[in-house]
């Protein structure tokens, strides 16, 4: 099931971002998906679905935004490794 959200923003925002309305919506979806993924709230698969792109494209976008594709911290990974 899909739903629609209406957000009212100043028209100057699109000009400031140099984006057409549909491009702005795509950027918002991607930014939200990346942030939710970064916070560990959703998986890569769900994030790519929210962003409306392939998983490969989502992984590329993570790099563009400076977000690691790994949800575990180095300390968590080391902890798992040392407890085996």
pLDDT in tens, 18-68: 888 889 999 999 999 999 999 999 999 999 999 999 999 999 999 999 999
Distances (CA, A) of 15 to 6, 10, 23, 45, 49: 19, 10, 12, 32, 28
Measuring CA to CA, which residue among 6, 57, 3 is closest to residue 33?
Answer: 57
**pTM value?**
0.77
């Amino acid at each position: 099931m899909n739903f629609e959200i209406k957000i009212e923003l100043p028209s100057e925002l699109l000009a400031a971002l140099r984006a057409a309305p549909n491009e702005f919506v795509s950027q918002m979806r991607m930014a939200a998906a990346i942030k939710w993924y970064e916070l560990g709230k959703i998986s890569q698969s769900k994030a790519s679905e929210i962003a409306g792109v392939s998983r490969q494209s989502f992984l590329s976008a993570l790099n563009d935004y400076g977000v690691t594709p790994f949800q575990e911290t180095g300390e968590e990974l080391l902890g798992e490794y040392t407890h085996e």
